[in-house]
């Protein structure tokens, strides 16, 4: 299988990963590897396991998942940041 994003740019590059979100095959250049905490259903011991799992997405899905953030950090960010609301103090 070849990289979907490269194919759209009229290039043929062997794919090295598959996007977890949309299922597109992507090359190393277009793959974005992030980490994801593994959680278990209640009642099976630890709710959140100590080691994060790998999660690979294509460029489109990576951008979409991070479109709410203004930084380029690959680390998962908290959903709400109280620091953002502390700017206007009276």
Query: Which positions lie near Zn ion, rule CB under 5 A?
Result: 3, 5-6, 13, 19, 21-22, 24, 27, 29-30, 58, 61
Answer yes or no: are the C-beta atoms of 40 and 64 closer than 8 Å. no
Q: 66, 42, 39: which is closest to 52 by C-alpha?
A: 39
Q: Report the alpha-carbon distance of residue 30 to residue 44 in Å, rounded.
A: 37
What's the closest the beta carbon of residue 58 comes to Zn ion, in angstroms? 3
Nearer to Zn ion, 20 or 76 (CB): 20
What's the closest the beta carbon of residue 65 comes to Zn ion, in angstroms? 9
Q: Which residue has the tokens 């953030």?
A: 69
What's the closest the beta carbon of residue 12 comes to Zn ion, in angstroms? 10
């Amino acid at each position: 299988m070849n990289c979907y994003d490269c194919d759209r740019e009229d290039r043929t590059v062997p794919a090295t990963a598959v996007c977890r979100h949309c299922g597109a095959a992507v090359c190393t250049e277009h793959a974005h590897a992030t980490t994801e905490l593994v959680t278990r259903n209640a009642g099976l011991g630890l709710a959140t396991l100590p080691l994060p799992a790998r999660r690979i997405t294509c460029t489109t899905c990576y951008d979409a998942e991070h479109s709410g953030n203004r930084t380029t950090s690959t680390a998962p960010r908290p959903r709400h940041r109280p620091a953002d609301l502390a700017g206007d103090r009276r």
